[in-house]
Structure 1
């Protein structure tokens, strides 16, 4: 990519600032950097009793010269491990350069201010998506899971073989879910649709190095679409899941798994709309629409973007977009993933958001006012994603974390209806904003499992609202969520493996690639911090190394960079895909 060399140079300027053992104050910054015209805020935190701060300085990282001085402003009080916190706003500094924040007692790591500071970041995160490929894996230059799979719960006899190879492994295990894969595919497609300049062409369709006159993000999205077509092979057939938690028997590099009882095949679960689970535990599925809606919207957007490149393939997508939507209409309700031997599964309880997005996506490729009417009806059933109101959620209970359909629907409406849907987005943001203003990190997103995925999605909702309305009142909240992901958090760590380079990022994630072979999982977004109350009740967590963040853990929230902690440090495919969209948006800003 033309901007990659510049981006790499910028990354080399960032590095971790390690404090002496007796240090009691820290400055947290976005290690990836800031745009000159954007919001720029650091957070000062102290563990000292009666700590306070009046002023701070921004200094040139090379010369040490003071380039800007500001007032610390409001004291936000205790948060997490800190007894006192302040937000240090230096947005008025617009000159490009490498800087540190400095106070009387401490200084921050080096960070960049530059108009191109986010260039190449979205493309960088595509590395993780390619590494997660099943079928042929370009990172390993080898194939895996080529015998999938045998059916369960379908209209055909159980153990019937179907071709379900391909797609992406879900996280650092090798399960594959249609709900997360369709969401990831949609975000990759939308990232290209909205910000094509953010992506280059350095890889072939199979993921190996080499140009093919197709942006890499489209190659990756098509990998997802190919698998989704296999999972919806007939008008009235839709599968939901490949494998189950028997996969968790142990860490291994992707290969042909032989512990599901039928050679190298893995079970493929059919969408029945009823509770499933082959062993002790069952899910609480009520319908098919949550999965069907996500699949339909991915196919519609795929058709829109690929019809000029491959008309025959696009026609297949258009047909399947319609048949998937029809299945959702026929069986409304949520289609949860199936547990195996453990009680954990994706507990998705909502579905109208998915059908809203599917309806408006179908309208985009085949304009019909009836689709918009249906979409608006679904939107009114869930104006605000429920975790925002409750400030909590079970695992993946409200997925895909924010209502993508509201954004797409508002773009297709006019007048009062458009204002109504935009107000739905604002209503959710305002609820989080009221919580966020109570602490120095502007943290209003709950620390449920996969909190980084929620944070990424919520930052994107703020961005969408700002684009639709022109209202910038939540821009500092939007930036605070983005900054949190890249180091402006109590631990001072970016939560994206290898981004930025030479900074504090995950090095020991819950990943077989890193743990067994020391392979880098470049661009992978890890799950993120969880409430201490959640962490203390999880099964099977063991730390294998001393906790380098021990002094920043608290009763409130926990994060570990240790492969034994699957709850906070496991990278996820769908979270990374959502981040790719957000990073592309950040690069796009002019």
Structure 2
């Protein structure tokens, strides 16, 4: 038997409602028959922050340069009005050849609103809110965690709205099998699987996506970003966030056998074999708890006796992308537990360092190991993962009062390797460099920037800016200011990655110049896009109602009513060629969507298509990595907004308050910069007030807060003797400059 569907197709690594509910969502924006121009208004359906830039878009059937807009509150009272942007940002498709921006920055009062367009065009937007950061981003974080709870496997499931029940108890005593040969895509060529060991306990963990497979590769990423989100939010993090991160780490501890130095790669197989003697997970459409009672011989590997596969032979070196991200997840667990549970933190640190030590950095496998088959998750970079692992271990060591110097040096070396071959991707499952860079900067800030490292703080910050600049450039030229590529795979995840990177960059540098770009990306993700839908289920009025997800599909059908698959992030639109002309037949067991046809078909444009249908794994299959990207992106934006409101200040101190230099002589001293603001930003140093004939140099000019620069002074023979006051200034972007006075005696 061959696979009818597969997880997300080939998930590429490079990319910057019921019928009634959907009809209602579109009907509110359709023009009356006697109007000259028809159109729809696209907004961020979750809402906007009071102080941020606010954009909506009028998609019109013809240019509507004279159109006006009015913002109405929940009582229908006009609270703001203005002109729709006269210049179209471009054509989307033949039905909507004009897309006009609507700017309404003046709307700042909390409440619920809608935008009404008139004057040559007539349309009304869905409702949206003006919220504070906790109300906007906090809800996204909490709902994202709810999806992870839905994805739980094993005995510790949470019933939740979908009535989850324990499943796959047999994973507690699973057999280990040799890596099979693949005939094509995910179809196995072998007549049978070959058992080589076991039993091993791999019970628990999360289902990867709409199926029931469990992958170490994506679980490590998801666990790491959940911990990073918890760390960023601190005391305001929802209690469910830390508990869910711990749940992921518990399963990773099962996947990593420290005693034999074996990392288990995955549980289950996607498809059966070419001979048809056994099925795979993707050949069946069922509830997970039904697998435990399945006695079919053909279904043995798909249900009650799921195989486990190794990432490498016991004791052998492990693909560095895997070793790096797994060690990062363990190290983050050590960090967040360092204060509340020392024993747990120490165990997590030991796990992190042990798997890190197994990385095959001298001879990485090609292709890098991610899943079976590799086409499920083709990854091309590993330096970012190893930098990620080393940086998080260094931070954990610092929190546990251990020596972090070796890991700082490693992280810098791997960062240099990444920078020398950077792919230009954004933060997502396949590229963890943004978080790695930011946390390496933090570790260097704490550790005092040891000399001789392979990379500088300025280089790391510059690469974060490079990643943002690439997204900003794409957004500037896109009709809806999308910074991701909506013709590539998993654009929603990559776009949430831009939110992550911008928040990290802003926290470190204080530079807010990309904040508006981050806002535009959130707007696009939550409804201000061509399709007028949020790509996170349960957020806004229009969101995926018929996702490619077995549990949701079988527990609720597709009525579009509660409960929904709350918090799940789907792929989003992709290259229309991915559909090969049709969605194909419904798999046996699938519940059909109640809507007929594709209500989003009229919005296909620029080579990009979005379909909300249970058969559409290309655009509407949720996954833990994509939802994890949303959780950390929202958490970091919430934390960054709190930091921006809280402020901070720089300080500068000198190793001596007075220095003497003879004509034709020289002297030196240390200048140390610090900050009371969070995150350890980079600080720029400057010296003014030098007398004629005296030269001053700073090495380096930019330092990580808490570190020192060497200040060198040299006097020419012609320098006039006397006493002078020099001013040393320390400044980080967005903070108040601080100064220190140096008395210089020449003579």
TM range (shorter): 0.7 to 0.9
SS in 2 for 1:69: strand
Instruction: Kindly state the Cα deviation for residue 61 of structure 1 after the two structures are TM-superposed.
Output: 3.6
Q: Is contact 1:356–1:379 with CA below 8 Å preserved after alignment?
A: yes
Instruction: Kindly state the Cα deviation for residue 444 of structure 1 after the two structures are TM-superposed.
Output: 2.9
Larger Rg: 2
Other-structure match for 2:578: 534
Correspondence list, 1:107-118, <5 A: 107-115=124-132, 116-118=134-136
Instruction: Kindly state the Cα deviation for residue 198 of structure 1 after the two structures are TM-superposed.
Output: 4.0
Other-structure match for 1:489: 529
Other-structure match for 2:90: 77
SS in 2 for 1:222: helix
Q: Among residues 534, 539, 552, which one is paired with 1:514 in the alignment?
A: 552
Q: Among residues 603, 626, 629, which one is paired with 1:578 in the alignment?
A: 629
Q: Is contact 1:25–1:44 with CA below 8 Å preserved after alignment?
A: yes
SS in 2 for 1:364: helix
Query: 1:263/1:428 Cα in 2 relative to 1: closer, same or farther (>3 Å)?
Result: closer
Other-structure match for 2:307: 267
Other-structure match for 2:411: 375
Q: Which moved more, 1:239-248 or 1:540-549?
A: 540-549
Other-structure match for 1:218: 242
Correspondence list, 1:228-243, <5 A: 228-235=252-259, 236-243=261-268
Q: Among residues 373, 380, 383, which one is paired with 1:352 in the alignment?
A: 383
Instruction: Kindly state the Cα deviation for residue 159 of structure 1 after the two structures are TM-superposed.
Output: 4.5
* Partners of 1:537 and 1:353 in 2: CA distance: 37
More strand by share: 2
Q: Is contact 2:40–2:124 with CA below 8 Å preserved after alignment?
A: yes
* Partners of 2:419 and 2:581 in 1: CA distance: 32
Instruction: Kindly state the Cα deviation for residue 561 of structure 1 after the two structures are TM-superposed.
Output: 1.3
User: Are positions 1:441 and 2:480 aligned together?
Assistant: yes
Aligned residues: 540
Other-structure match for 2:458: 419
Q: Which runs of 4+ in 1 moved over 6 A?
A: none
Query: 1:97/1:338 Cα in 2 relative to 1: closer, same or farther (>3 Å)?
Result: closer
Query: 1:541/1:364 Cα in 2 relative to 1: closer, same or farther (>3 Å)?
Result: farther
Other-structure match for 2:336: 305
Query: 1:198/1:506 Cα in 2 relative to 1: closer, same or farther (>3 Å)?
Result: farther
Q: Among residues 523, 530, 533, which one is paired with 2:567 in the alignment?
A: 523
Q: Is contact 1:183–1:298 with CA below 8 Å preserved after alignment?
A: yes
Q: Is contact 1:353–1:404 with CA below 8 Å preserved after alignment?
A: no
* Partners of 1:442 and 1:499 in 2: CA distance: 20
Q: Is contact 1:62–1:98 with CA below 8 Å preserved after alignment?
A: no
* Partners of 1:70 and 1:473 in 2: CA distance: 26
User: Are positions 1:336 and 2:336 aligned together?
Assistant: no
Query: 1:409/1:79 Cα in 2 relative to 1: closer, same or farther (>3 Å)?
Result: farther
Q: Is contact 2:30–2:123 with CA below 8 Å preserved after alignment?
A: no
User: Are positions 1:249 and 2:283 aligned together?
Assistant: yes
Per-residue CA deviation, residues 383-430 of structure 1 (Å, 9 max, x unaligned), is 3995636x9x9xx8x714653211211223358821110100111221
Correspondence list, 1:70-469, <5 A: 70=83, 72=85, 74-79=87-92, 82-104=96-118, 105-115=122-132, 116-118=134-136, 119-136=138-155, 137-139=157-159, 140=163, 142-148=165-171, 149-153=174-178, 158-200=196-238, 215-235=239-259, 236-245=261-270, 246-255=280-289, 256=291, 259-261=299-301, 264-272=304-312, 288-329=319-360, 332-333=364-365, 335-339=368-372, 344-366=375-397, 367-383=403-419, 388=424, 399-400=430-431, 403-413=434-444, 417-447=456-486, 448-469=488-509
* Partners of 2:485 and 2:392 in 1: CA distance: 30
SS in 2 for 1:26: strand
Query: 1:473/1:339 Cα in 2 relative to 1: closer, same or farther (>3 Å)?
Result: same
Q: Among residues 46, 57, 63, which one is paired with 2:70 in the alignment?
A: 57
Instruction: Kindly state the Cα deviation for residue 568 of structure 1 after the two structures are TM-superposed.
Output: 0.5
* Partners of 1:138 and 1:261 in 2: CA distance: 25
Q: Is contact 2:548–2:621 with CA below 8 Å preserved after alignment?
A: yes
Instruction: Kindly state the Cα deviation for residue 450 of structure 1 after the two structures are TM-superposed.
Output: 1.6
Runs of 5+ consecutive residues of structure 2 not aligned to the other structure = 1-23, 180-193, 271-279, 398-402, 450-454, 557-562, 587-591, 643-747
Q: Which moved more, 1:166-175 or 1:95-104?
A: 95-104
Query: 1:325/1:440 Cα in 2 relative to 1: closer, same or farther (>3 Å)?
Result: same
* Partners of 2:613 and 2:266 in 1: CA distance: 28
User: When the two structures are superposed, what TM-score results if normalisation uses the length of structure 2?
Assistant: 0.67
SS in 2 for 1:421: helix
Q: Is contact 2:64–2:86 with CA below 8 Å preserved after alignment?
A: no
* Partners of 2:369 and 2:566 in 1: CA distance: 30
* Partners of 2:536 and 2:230 in 1: CA distance: 21
User: When the two structures are superposed, what TM-score results if normalisation uses the length of structure 1?
Assistant: 0.84
SS in 2 for 1:56: strand
* Partners of 1:263 and 1:159 in 2: CA distance: 19
* Partners of 1:82 and 1:381 in 2: CA distance: 45
Per-residue CA deviation, residues 463-507 of structure 1 (Å, 9 max, x unaligned), is 21122111122222111111111111111111111123xx11111
Per-residue CA deviation, residues 24-56 of structure 1 (Å, 9 max, x unaligned), is 31111111101101221112222x244435643
* Partners of 1:82 and 1:184 in 2: CA distance: 38
* Partners of 1:344 and 1:546 in 2: CA distance: 30
Q: Which moved more, 1:410-419 or 1:25-34?
A: 410-419
SS in 1 for 2:358: helix
Query: 1:388/1:232 Cα in 2 relative to 1: closer, same or farther (>3 Å)?
Result: same
Q: Is contact 1:85–1:440 with CA below 8 Å preserved after alignment?
A: yes
SS in 2 for 1:578: helix
* Partners of 1:402 and 1:29 in 2: CA distance: 31
* Partners of 1:555 and 1:273 in 2: CA distance: 47
